[in-house]
């Protein structure tokens, strides 16, 4: 018969230890066997195949004066604004077909000249180059970059050099990049090596964005909310009345000057994705030299994709861009592509829209 009281505590502890050891040993052996025999994990064929065929999307930036996408690094150079002649003896001009922006403005005698701006596609040669006018600092200052012209009244040159824009003038040329071509008669024969001028000023930053852009033509504000218009005719004077006609086949507006096709140096009619007609006041402070008033606001029409939208343009300061809003005060988005801006005088010009 067992005496329970004679079963000592130490005996119970040794017995318990032996029991735990007996249980743990088989478990340890089992775990060791499992870790030794289990195969190493491998990637599934489906995952490997997906990784090998995946192509990451190409990163893009947008040209600030055109709204079109480009690979990163393509924007790292300044824009170039040039005063371009529009006299009959200056036509066809060199390089207008490759512009991002063109501003047409009234000058003396009822004629017009251009501020032509290149950034996304800079030609080797542009021209004919003409002299600066009093409204040009207000037009060009928001772009930064470089401005090139053939000279001008000293007061107008001083106004231009007072901006932050890099000035290059034919009359005081130290670059050697201006010359006269034998193809035209003076003063309509000054040309500029445009790309070389931009390359020499590579440290000057790219221009800031001037207008808002939609991703596609059908998504632009005029295409969505505008009315069908086939022709936009802007009359500056009895001597200058350009018009733009929508060409559905090519998806662009084609330009005419005084009723005749306006051609580039290659014989192709000038064209634009967007056409803006802005009504502007004329300041006669400089007597026979009209100054387009650019700081302020006025009525406008924005044409894209065969449709035209009524708008308001505003410009708060010399270095501020032009802001376009519709009749509901919503910012207007242009289509990606080039833009011509007709600065039509309120008191002596007109804008006619033909359905």
Supply the CATH number for residue 162's domain: 3.50.90.10
Within this chain, do residues 268 and 291 fall inside the same structural domain, yes or no? Answer: yes
Residue 52 falls inside a structural domain: no
One digit per residue, the tens of pLDDT, for the chain of length 355 reads 333 333 333 343 333 333 333 333 333 333 333 344 444 444 444 444 445 565 655 557 899 999 998 888 788 899 999 999 999 999 999 999 999 999 999 999 999 999 999 999 999 999 999 999 999 999 999 999 999 999 999 999 999 999 999 999 999 988 899 999 999 999 999 999 999 999 999 999 999 999 999 999 999 999 999 999 999 999 999 999 999 999 999 999 999 999 999 999 999 999 999 999 999 999 999 999 999 999 999 999 999 999 999 999 999 999 999 999 999 999 999 999 999 999 999 999 999 999 9
Within this chain, do residues 162 and 251 fall inside the same structural domain, yes or no? Answer: no
Within this chain, do residues 186 and 315 fall inside the same structural domain, yes or no? Answer: no
Residue 178 falls inside a structural domain: yes
Within this chain, do residues 133 and 157 fall inside the same structural domain, yes or no? Answer: yes
Burial of 100 (C-beta count, 10 Å sphere; 0-12/13-18/19+): buried
Q: Are 148 and 125 in contact (CB under 8 A)?
A: no
End residue of a domain, out of 200, 234, 269: 200
Within this chain, do residues 183 and 258 fall inside the same structural domain, yes or no? Answer: no
Residue 8 falls inside a structural domain: no
Within this chain, do residues 330 and 239 fall inside the same structural domain, yes or no? Answer: yes
CA angle 65, 70, 72 (to 5 degrees): 110
Residue 4 falls inside a structural domain: no
Q: Are 76 and 67 in contact (CB under 8 A)?
A: no
Within this chain, do residues 84 and 177 fall inside the same structural domain, yes or no? Answer: yes
Number of domains in the chain: 2
> Which two three-digit tokens encode residue 344?
């039509």
pLDDT value of residue 72: 83
Within this chain, do residues 157 and 238 fall inside the same structural domain, yes or no? Answer: no
Residue 69 falls inside a structural domain: yes
**Prior bond to 223 cis, omega within 30?**
no
Exposed e or buried b per residue across 148-162, where buried means at least 16 C-beta atoms within 10 angstroms of its C-beta: bbbbbeeebbebbee
pTM for the full predicted model: 0.84
> Which two three-digit tokens encode residue 293?
């008033």
Q: Are 80 and 122 in contact (CB under 8 A)?
A: yes
Backbone angles phi, psi at 59, to 5 degrees: -70, 140
Within this chain, do residues 69 and 191 fall inside the same structural domain, yes or no? Answer: yes
Residue 216 falls inside a structural domain: yes
Within this chain, do residues 272 and 329 fall inside the same structural domain, yes or no? Answer: yes
Within this chain, do residues 77 and 118 fall inside the same structural domain, yes or no? Answer: yes
pLDDT value of residue 215: 96
Within this chain, do residues 194 and 245 fall inside the same structural domain, yes or no? Answer: no
Residue with tokens 């580039």: 264
Residue 123 falls inside a structural domain: yes
Strand-pair category, 333-334 with 212-213: parallel
Residue 76 sits in which domain range?
Answer: 62-200
């Amino acid at each position: 018969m067992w005496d329970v009281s004679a079963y000592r505590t130490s005996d119970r502890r040794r017995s318990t230890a032996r029991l735990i050891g007996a249980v743990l040993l088989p478990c340890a052996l089992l775990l060791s066997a499992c870790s030794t025999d289990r195969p190493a994990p491998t990637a599934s064929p489906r995952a490997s195949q997906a990784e090998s065929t995946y192509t990451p999307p190409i990163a893009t930036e947008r040209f600030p004066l055109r709204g079109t996408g480009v690979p990163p690094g393509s924007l790292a150079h300044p824009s170039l604004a040039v005063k371009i002649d529009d006299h009959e003896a200056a036509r066809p001009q060199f390089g207008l077909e490759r512009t991002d922006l063109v501003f047409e403005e009234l000058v003396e005698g009822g004629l017009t000249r251009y501020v032509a701006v290149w950034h996304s596609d800079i030609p080797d040669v542009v021209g004919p180059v003409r002299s600066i006018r009093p409204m040009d600092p207000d037009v060009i200052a928001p772009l930064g970059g470089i401005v090139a012209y053939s000279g001008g009244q000293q007061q107008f040159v001083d106004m231009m050099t007072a901006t932050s824009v890099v000035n290059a003038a034919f009359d005081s040329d130290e670059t050697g990049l201006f010359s006269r071509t034998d193809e035209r008669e003076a003063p309509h024969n000054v040309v500029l090596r445009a790309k070389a001028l931009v390359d020499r000023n590579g440290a000057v930053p790219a221009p800031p964005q001037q207008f808002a852009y939609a991703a596609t033509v059908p998504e632009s504000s005029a295409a969505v909310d505008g009315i069908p218009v086939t022709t936009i005719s802007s009359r500056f004077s009895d001597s200058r009345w350009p018009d733009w006609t929508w060409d559905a086949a090519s998806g662009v507006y084609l330009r005419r000057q005084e009723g005749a096709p306006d051609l580039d140096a290659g014989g192709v009619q000038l064209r634009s994705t967007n056409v803006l007609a802005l009504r502007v006041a004329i300041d006669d402070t400089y007597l026979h030299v009209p100054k387009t008033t650019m700081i302020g606001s006025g009525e406008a029409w924005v044409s894209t994709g065969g449709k035209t939208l009524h708008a308001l343009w505003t410009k708060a300061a010399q270095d501020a861009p032009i802001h376009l809003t519709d009749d509901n005060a919503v910012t207007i988005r242009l289509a990606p592509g080039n833009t011509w801006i007709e600065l039509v005088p309120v008191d002596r010009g007109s804008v006619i829209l033909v359905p």
